[in-house]
A = this chain, B = another copy of it.
Amino acid sequence: MSTPRVKEILSWYGSDNPGTLTNLARLLNHGTLGGTGKLVILPVDQGFEHGPARSFAVNPPGYNPQYHVELAIASGCNAYAAPLGSIEAIARDYAGEVPLILKINNHDVLQDEKDPLSAVTSSVEDAVRLGCVAIGFTIYPGSSHRVHMYETIQQATVVAKKAGLAVVMWSYPRGSSLSKEGETAIDVSGYAAQIAAQLGAHIIKVKLPSAHIEQAEAKKVYEKTQVPIGTLTERVKHVVQCAFAGRRIVIFSGGAAVDDEKVFQEVTAIRDGGGFGSIIGRNSFQRQHEKALAFLKKIMSIYGG
């Protein structure tokens, strides 16, 4: 039975059909954090994004797509996210064991580019036939190719919502018009969250924001209106506000943190700022199996699991 918190979250999505709410509930009710309204998701798309050897050689069982879904199940994650090939390789054998998110666009590194563009590599129809609860995809606001990605998402979103699936959006500002610092600037992060919300995302994933302000026009407004952005907790709070005043699920990636203690502090700030959870990829599957389980367990305990 859904908890009051899960029911409250579902109430924000009044334009969606019960099918989509059902799949959102499956995500929110599964695993160690089931029912808390918090989420930890395991994503594995590095085989495509970085190449097979770079991704799996350090922990060779990872060449096998089964390894990852089993890690997601054993660690009590709310969901497992991966591209088409990897999901096709496990969907039949692990049917119903963990909510699956089909990552429907991907980006390889065979071309070096300032303005990244993820390619659509699968579809809502695939997600339906494979039993997934959601589609996931990445947009790069700030890339000169962002229009292509927004349109990809738009088309997938309308079909996904009709099919009763949830929509998870990775909104990562990148591209030639942004400084490196600007990619995680607070104004840009808030803008990225709003773009995802306007595009109709149910779950929005952004990076943790810094106190930097990138855009001159925005800087004037932030300074004039004195938005509190001094602490990480405050910045999490502001980004959540930019997504329809907190009425959309916003989760965060840990960034490139190599120090476990720092990750745990960030998770604490996400929790305290009203964020909804974390998405943890390489930091999990590239460490030895037992260590990955312990690491994920600790994170879930901070969120209240």
A275 interface residue per 8 A CB criterion: no
A184 at the interface (CB under 8 A from B): no
A108 with B200: CB separation less than 8 A: no
Ranked nearest first, the 4 interchain pairs of A and B with the lowest CB-CB distance are A25-B96, A22-B131, A18-B91, A85-B198
Tell yes or no: A241 within 8 A of B by CB.
Answer: yes
Bits for A179-202, please: 1 = Cβ < 8 Å to B, else 0. 000000001101100110111100
Q: Does B19 contact A130, Cβ atoms closer than 8 Å?
A: yes
Closest to A93 in B: B14
Residues in B neighbouring A215, C-beta threshold 8 A: 51, 109
Binds B, one of A120-128, A254-262, A265-273, A293-301: A120-128
16 further A-B pairs in the complex, CB-CB below 8 A; given A119-B147, A147-B148: A14-B93, A15-B17, A15-B129, A17-B17, A19-B131, A22-B91, A50-B217, A57-B225, A58-B221, A84-B200, A85-B197, A108-B191, A109-B215, A111-B175, A111-B176, A128-B162
Residue of B nearest to A174 (CB): B110
Query: Are A110 and B173 within 8 A (Cβ)?
Result: yes
Q: Indicate which residue in B14, B158, B187 contacts A123 across the interface (CB closer than 8 Å).
A: B158
Asked if A85 contacts B129 (CB within 8 A), the reply is: no
Q: Given A21-B92, A244-B89, A119–B150 Cβ distance below 8 Å?
A: yes
The distance from the CB of A272 to the nearest CB of chain B, in whole angstroms, is 22
Residues of B within 8 A of A101 (CB): none
Interface residues of A (CB under 8 A from B): 1-2, 6, 10, 14-15, 17-26, 28-29, 47-48, 50-54, 57-58, 63-65, 73, 83-86, 88-89, 91-97, 106, 108-113, 117-123, 125-126, 128-132, 141-148, 150-152, 154-155, 158, 162-164, 173, 175-178, 187-188, 190-191, 194-195, 197-200, 215, 217-218, 221-222, 224-225, 227, 241-242, 244-245, 247
Could you say which residues of chain B place their CB within 8 Å of the CB of A20?
Answer: 131
A204 to chain B, nearest CB (A): 11
- Residue of A22, A84, A110, A121 with most chain B CB atoms under a 10 A cut-off: A110
Contacts of A128 in B (CB 8 A): 19, 162-164
